[in-house]
Structure 1
């Protein structure tokens, strides 16, 4: 026969394991739509993600690629020097969004076009996200900003 102390200890351990598993499940459920992986245009061209996956893409807006459509619709190309991905966005673009400037967009890759739901541009003339700098350095395109 087991002692009462040993039985209690087993019950506490089982309860702790169930609580830990429940916590992990709740955290995973909470993050299911909140985790957006960053990809460079070269990575998207090399291994296109499924249309259902929401991710972030970053690079430079290709020179001569911005085409403004009806209303607030805009098409452009995002490049890291190694690959160029066509993108489309409907909405108001940030003031600093321009050709040759860094940008990060959130959206999905549908039928060979990145459909952005959010577009972020540099918030000043010198800042660029670390992920974009790393992707540009990998392609040998990044130039250190002049002070």
Structure 2
């Protein structure tokens, strides 16, 4: 009978150890998969103050500066993102054509890398109607005192 209790105790310990190992592996895999999925948002002012590593993928948001859009041929073009306090030159190097609602003076979020003093955007998010502006961009513009409510 004593051998039976010892065997049950050993089985319980084995099951608990296996569960702990499985939980640790699952947590590690989730953390590894999320490391590239978390995209930090930065404003032009934040980017001009502290430059991230060249291999860091993040989002840059603000207004497209008036008169700054320059076509380079094909789907590539250049523009400047500003928050009223700082300006960051951007080169769009993605594969998709410029969104129809991507215009000067409008809010946008560009996703990509900051290299050599220039942001290389591989993806652009533009407004989807005349009054929409991403929340992050609104917050950034309010901080710099540039934001104007489109309904006023």
TM-score, normalised relative to structure 2: 0.88
Structure-1 residue corresponding to 2:140: 135
Moved more, 22-31 or 111-120: 22-31
RMSD, aligned α-carbons: 1.8
User: Alpha-carbon deviation of 1:4?
Assistant: 4.0
Partner-residue secondary structure (3-state), 1:69? strand
User: Alpha-carbon deviation of 1:41?
Assistant: 0.9
How many corresponding residue pairs? 147
Gaps of 5+ in 1: none
Structure 1: distance between partners of 2:16 and 2:105: 58
The C-alpha deviation readout for 1:72-94, integer Å capped at 9, x for no partner, is: 22111101112110000134111
2:25 equivalent among 4, 10, 22: 22
The C-alpha deviation readout for 1:33-61, integer Å capped at 9, x for no partner, is: 32211111111111111110010111100
Structure with max Cα Rg: 2
Structure 1: distance between partners of 2:141 and 2:7: 65
Quick check: 1:62 aligned with 2:68? no
Structure 2: distance between partners of 1:93 and 1:120: 10
TM-score, normalised relative to structure 1: 0.91
